[in-house]
Chain A
């Protein structure tokens, strides 16, 4: 589904990612872990078109996507959920979610997606008419993920969803992500520590100083649901 091939990414003159390669197969939940400052977020942003890639290539669903605009990627189901959420603070929860379905892709399934998100996150349904900036950290993360779901993603790239959340909320969050995988969404998940995600991932890459240093395969605890084709 996603193939990152030897990409180099710079931020001004700083060389952040060096020849990074990774693969995400359809229906997999793949993790990338590493300490802060080693390039995890940059990697995700590069995959999702938010930062330019200086060298190498990225292939998504058979198409080379390096240099393509973000709107193009979202239209093809490659959706990014930022670590700092990036919600629209002066818009309501409902408006934020509906904006997730901005493109035709999501718009067609808008009402179904909305229902799905509210089922997944009843708390959001309660706060439907509230402005996004009044939400708590956990609720904001739910909204960010919910908005991502409104885009009808095929591959969801999630950046440190646990950031700033209380441990109990983190568990719920990760369980939700596992649930999404079960339902058939491919997921690329970035987190700071392996311990958080080793129960749900199929494979994990470790990123250190902008280089992939190893890859571990797990007998994943999460199997796709029976009705989802592999």
Chain B
């Protein structure tokens, strides 16, 4: 029973981080209607950058590395949106070409990381060691910290989206692009911002999970796929749905791993995705499949 609780707790902590990744994916899709296939690659790249900043090369303290990481990731995201996605949006078939360019970028990142860092997984030290006792059960202190941090990030995002005018603008663009233009919102700037934000989210998630999963060049595809499933279940474009779905699926995953073993993880996620897409494509809280105008 104790072990089950520990696994469960680990699942919740992981789910919290997945929700961060999922929210990022959801935000970009909700506003720019773009599926960013390079998202997993960016997750890994974020982890590698933090590795380079800390134990890998520069040996900076973690807090400083995080302070540097965030603007670096944001800048990368804005650059990708500005120079790769925006030009494509002018063309016909932009949805296809945008997906293809992000897939191309994914492979560039994978292979660049492979060349730069090698195929051997890199470990990252956790900033907290040891265990903490919850309800008399020993759980990893790191996982607890991760859970708290992730929840704080999600809460901050909620505040941003609901209490700030710029956050409102992001939601407005997600709901009606032409309407957003009509009130004077610079839609391109919103696209750039959300993309930058999504890269920050996924990169930080990569950092948070790196002590647990290590960093490897191809390591981003699994969280990416999981984020997909979460976002589809929660509803593409609904950040709250993404968080709810993340926790639900995180728990399911923990249960599956506990009962059936880790090798069943991916198939279960995939079957879930297929089922959701077949039964209720708009997910729990999604808005359905209507395309945004413009």
Contacts and interface: CB of A to CB of B under 8 A. Distances in A.
Interface of A: 48, 50, 69-71, 74-75, 79-82, 85-91, 95, 98-100, 102-103, 105-106, 147-148, 150-151
A70 B184 contact: yes
Contact of A88 (B165, B179, B184, B186): B179
A106 B165 CA distance: 13
Contacts of B180: 88
7 contacts: A50-B181, A87-B179, A91-B171, A99-B185, A102-B183, A106-B184, A151-B183
Given A50-B181, A70-B181, A102 B176 contact: no
A90 B181 contact: no
B35 interface: no
A85 B179 CA distance: 8
Contacts of A147: 182-183
Nearest to B171: A91
A88 B176 contact: yes
B67 interface: no
Contacts, number: 70
B160 interface: no
A20 to B, nearest CB: 22
Contact of A74 (B169, B175, B184, B293): B184
Interface of B: 165, 168-169, 171-172, 175-176, 178-186, 287, 293
A148 to B, nearest CB: 8
Closest 8 CB pairs of A and B: A74-B184, A86-B179, A103-B184, A88-B175, A70-B181, A71-B184, A71-B186, A102-B183
B175 A91 contact: yes
A89 B176 contact: yes
A82 B168 CA distance: 20
Nearest to B177: A86
Contacts of A89: 175-176, 287
A86 B178 CA distance: 7
Contacts of B179: 82, 85-88
A183 to B, nearest CB: 21
Contacts of B181: 50, 70-71
A151 B180 CA distance: 12
A102 B187 CA distance: 13
B176 A99 contact: no
B176 A86 contact: yes
Nearest to A97: B183
Given A99-B169, A102-B169, A79 B176 contact: no
Contacts of B168: 91, 95, 98-99, 102
A69 B179 CA distance: 14
A98 B172 CA distance: 11
Nearest to B166: A102
